[in-house]
Amino acid sequence: MKFLSSFLTKFASLIIGFLLLGCVKDVDLDQRDDIILSPDLQIDLLIYDIDQTHFKDTVTGNTKTRISDTVRLEFLDDSYIQDDLTSVEFYFRHINTFPREINSKVRFLSEVNREQFAVNYTIKPGADGNPVTTEQYELIEEDRINLVRRSIKMVVELEVQPDTTAFEGELDFASKGFFSFEF
Amino acid sequence: MKMWRLICLFLFVCSTVVAQNKPLLFNVDDLPQTLMSNPGAQINFTGHIGIPLFSQIHLSAGSTGANLYDIFADDGTNINTRIQETMRSMDARDYFALNQQLEIISLGWKLDDRNYLSMGIYQEMDLFAYFPKGPAILVNEGNNDYLNEPFHFDDVSFTGEIMTVYHLGINHKFDRRLTVGARAKLYSGIFNAESTGNTGRFTTYTTPNGRNVYHHEVVDMDVLINTSGFAPLKEEEGMTVEQATAELLSRSYFGGNLGFGLDLGISYILDEQFILSGSVQDLGAVFQRKDVENYRYFGAYETSGLEPLFPDLDENDEAIPYWDIFEDEVDRNLRDQTTNETYTTWRPIKANFAMEYGFGSGFLPCHYLSDKEVRYMNLLGMQLSGVKRPKGFVYALTAYYDRKINENQRFKLTYTLDDYSLTNIGLMYTRTFNKFNVYLAVNNLLAYPNLAKAHSASVQLGMQLVFND
């Protein structure tokens, strides 16, 4: 019994020793400085579905060869874009039934309308009942990411060459951004 | 027969309510702390006075999903990869728990042959949070790898409270077999934060036949975070740590949000060697009335992007403010509110049920004036315990061997199955020098050589004067 008593006393001392010494092994807590959050976000941007009426001048009734619109993307000015964005891949898709090529220009402008970068491509012609898809990617990596950070407006422009043939059809536009961050 | 009904009722209550707290101190009849987990425990002392602030120091911490090693392993791999893998392996029912108690005052004395009165003050901190898997993965990884999979807002579920508890309990010996007890508690809340019962989900759907590549949808979002005691600290700019501590301490003495609770306990000697015992603790609530602030985020919204209309504008016309229109629409549909509505928090109910078998008769010095009675030197027992948490009960099943070495020494060896581990071995040792008693109880001993790999650890220690005559 005396042995048991002595054993337990020593055992209790050992436990207290364990607690006080706090045995934490095989870990490196300094790694906390290396912790980063790196979300990759897929975000829809602009959409439109237009037809020949959008190319008509509402005053004169004449066909316009160029139409455009501007959308402010205020989130580009937010701190997580300004400080933590590492890359963006833009994706643009047109589905065209107009029987003509259409030049698409997607421009990103600063607050004072200075162009930061633009994505220009030709939308392939389609036909009524035979829509043709044109896809375009634009990858902006770290070396050019400031161009995105300085942008606040996205301008979509469409231009057709003057022609006397019939100009009827539909053009659907989809776009998204694949934003990668490191916080 | 009535007694059997009582026992059956108790078994039923324990099987439905169940609890867990400090299994190593449960049914240790030498220690006054046993009355804190079962006010109806059989006790073997006639008075006690705790050493102020040192009669019980309790700390337990646990994480079912991850341990320190999972994140900070020094094995040459990338910490962010480990975090990602760990988060993916956890689910929304994994939880983190931290409980701390400090007995400030503890005393008790025998009123007569049947009754023992005990009272005291202790401070408690209890934090419990489920792993918010959906929001955590969204923040850490984004939605790219989780298209068409919802991120659930109901994964956000946590409770946290700091309070001072004033208590008064009575232990009443009905007869040789039955002992019952009750403890009334007055809670003085210092700080509370809780967010439970949230709903909603965010999903990014791929839409091959849709208007855009994706469709983003927030459905049925209703997230409510209640806080009390937090707002004044937030508003006081430049408040020093000392000032904040002083402010918090001032609430300890009835200055905060008050609540009431009850512990109930019973023990019954089934026959000479079998003893049944059980208790329910913290049947009570705190009424959060002061310094309350509630944050609510609710609504539903879906979008596939902004839609330019190509209006006929000349150079002097203003462009359509698509973004402002979008933001207004989002603000109308996904709303946030900060209010000051009072709320009630239920304390995490704990319950214990134990059955033990005694053997090896006790031999004691002749104290014919004392009721002190050591029935058996060895006890083998099973204890089922649990705590009510927001998503259900957290259970633990403990097998124990409780050995009285002699009049002044005792140890209890436990093996516990719980959510944290299958190898939880605990040890309690108590020793009394004349009337001065010290005890130490440690759970999950096998983990102590390297706590980094442990999913839980718990320790209780204290010192007090215990009287036997």
Q: CATH number, domain at A55?
A: 2.60.120.660
Tell me, what's the pLDDT at B362? 67
Report residues of chain B scoring pLDDT below 70.
1-21, 233-238, 252, 254-255, 315, 362-374
Q: Which DSSP category does B81 fall into?
A: H
Residues of chain B neighbouring A27 (CB-CB closer than 8 A): 68-69, 72-74, 452
Domains in chain A, number: 1
Range B334-373 burial, b when 16+ CB lie within 10 A, else e: eeeeeeeeebebebbbbbbbbbbebeeeeeeeeeeebebe
Tell me, what's the pLDDT at B15? 36
**Contact between B89 and B71 (Cβ < 8 Å):** no
Contact A44 B452 (CB under 8 A): no
**Contact between A44 and B214 (Cβ < 8 Å):** yes
Range of the domain at A74: 31-181
The helix or strand, by DSSP H or E, that contains position B423, with its residue range, turns out to be none
Neighbouring-strand partners of residue A118: A107
**Strand runs (DSSP E) across B368-423, as ranges?**
376-389, 392-404, 409-418
pLDDT at position A5 over 70: no
CA distance B287 to B149: 39
Phi, psi (rounded to 5 degrees) for B206: -80, 140
Tell me, what's the pLDDT at B282? 95
Q: Please report, for chain B, the start and end positions of each structural domain, with discontinuous segments joined by +.
A: 20-467
Contact A69 B309 (CB under 8 A): yes
What residues contact B376, with CB distance under 8 A and at least 6 apart? Answer: B273, B358, B359, B360, B361, B362
Residues 1-30 of B with CB under 8 A from A: none
In angstroms, what separates the C-alpha of A139 from chain B's closest C-alpha? 16
Most A CBs within 10 A among B60, B147, B212, hence the mutation to make, goes to B212
CA distance B149 to B127: 30
**Contact between B171 and B41 (Cβ < 8 Å):** yes
Q: Quote the distance between the C-alpha of residue B327 and its chain's center.
A: 41
CA distance B4 to B320: 79
Nearest to A24 among B68, B143, B307 (CB): B68
Tell me, what's the pLDDT at B16? 36
**Contact between B276 and B7 (Cβ < 8 Å):** yes
Name the residue of chain B whose CA is nearest to A135's CA.
B213
Looking at residues A30-34, what average pLDDT do you find? 88
Tell me if A86 is assigned to some domain: yes
Tell me if A19 is assigned to some domain: no
> What Rg, from alpha-carbon coordinates, does chain A have?
30
Tell me, what's the pLDDT at B106? 96
CA distance A130 to A98: 10
CA distance B62 to B279: 23
Q: Which residue shows structure tokens 């934060």?
A: B193
**Contact between A94 and A123 (Cβ < 8 Å):** yes
Question: Does B207 lie at the interface with A, CB-CB under 8 angstroms?
Answer: no
Q: Which residue shows structure tokens 């503890």?
A: B106
Kindly report the pTM of this predicted structure: 0.85
Contact B448 A18 (CB under 8 A): yes
Question: Does B143 lie at the interface with A, CB-CB under 8 angstroms?
Answer: yes
Say whether domain B20-467 belongs to CATH 1.20.120. no
Name the residue of chain A whose CA is nearest to B138's CA.
A39
Nearest to B72 among A31, A36, A172 (CB): A31
Tell me, what's the pLDDT at B235? 64
Tell me if A106 is assigned to some domain: yes
Tell me if A13 is assigned to some domain: no
pLDDT digits (tens, 9 = 90+) for B194-209: 999 999 999 999 998 8
Q: What is the ipTM of this complex?
A: 0.82
Identity of the residue numbered B291:
D
* Angstrom distances, CA of residue A150 to CA of A70, A110, A178, B119: 16, 6, 18, 67
> What Rg, from alpha-carbon coordinates, does chain B have?
27
Contact B322 A5 (CB under 8 A): no
Contact B427 A57 (CB under 8 A): no
Most A CBs within 10 A among B147, B310, B312, hence the mutation to make, goes to B310
Instruction: Annotate B323-356 with DSSP letters as a single string.
Output: HHHHHHHHHHHEEEEEE---EEEE---EEEEEEE
